[in-house]
Amino acid sequence: MTQFPQSFPATRMRRLRQSPWIRGLVAENTLTPADLVWAIFVHDGEGRVPVGSLPGIDRLSVKEAALTAKRASELGIPAIALFPYIGPEGKDETGSGALNPDGLVPRALRAMKEAAPEIGLITDVALDAYTTHGHDGLLDADGTIPNDATVEKLVQQALAHAAAGADIVAPSDMMDGRIGAIRQAFDDEGFTNMMILAYAAKYASGFYGPYRDAIGSAKSLKGDKKTYQQDPANSEEALREVALDLAEGADMVMVKPGLPYLDIVHRVSTTFGVPTLAYQVSGEYAQIKAAAMNGWIDGDRVMMESLMCFKRAGASGIITYFAEEAADKLG
């Protein structure tokens, strides 16, 4: 038997891991339902419609969305992020449906706010769900996305959401200058307390596939979004994007996707010291669900571990399709 010095080792790290109570007591980060934002899809029909590439996720009618707001309140989830599914009949080249004050999102907002006024409602400001070409902005004949003309549309969309009862608008389009233009419009129209969550560091990622199925843009998307979403190779660029959005009036910032970009979450959080949210996107959710369904991983354990990773990286909150499941387990 090996003979060790009497004092070896003076520090035994395993002492603080030997029982659940001590592990909990010394945990550096905690996860609660208050850290979660529930991402949901709404549709202009009846009942619930399953999204095939997102197991366990349905598109919700306006009535079901209102019930979901009540459920969020019961679980202690503070906010819901809404994303619309627009059928082919509601799309056109310019995404005009996004500006309709009585469109799907405004009607869902009003119903949800009436059902659970204590729940924060976050809306997506972008045109991709409403355009026949699937881009977040307008599309010129030569295939380019005109920045400033798109921003004019986004401002109108944001105002429609504010008037319908949104608490936070979250521009996800990645056009230059849109945060400043929306903030100015809010101030001009008396929405001085409206919050803006800027998708400041949104990458041109392959993890968005199931989401595009869910909102109905996957088959219609012409080309890709690399001319306006960030290059996955870059991190310094993310910091520049965040700085610009904050200077233009953003209250919070977003990093998207989540787990593959935890380094960006950490850099943004520590550099700026502002509320930094992360979006656990559809591809991340679908991978965990698919592996769990095949028995390759413990789905609940990996779900909770993945959410804790965001907290460890410095995220103030996490937009996730796991919100209901996780909050239920957290109690």
Binding-site residues for Mg(2+)? 241
Q: What phi-psi label fits residue 250: left (phi over 0), alpha (psi between -120 and 50 degrees) or beta?
A: beta
Closest CA to 271 of 243, 233, 250: 243
Q: Say if residues 91 and 131 touch (Cβ distance below 8 Å).
A: yes
What does each C-alpha distance from 224 to 42, 204, 219, 229, 313 come to in angstroms? 25, 8, 12, 9, 29
Instruction: Report DSSP state, residue 31.
Output: -
Token digits for 219? 């088959």
- Binding region: 241
Catalytic sites, residue numbers = 202, 256
Instruction: Report DSSP state, residue 195.
Output: E
Residue 160 and residue 98: Cα distance in Å, rounded?
9
Q: Say if residues 309 and 318 touch (Cβ distance below 8 Å).
A: no
Residue 31 and residue 325: Cα distance in Å, rounded?
13
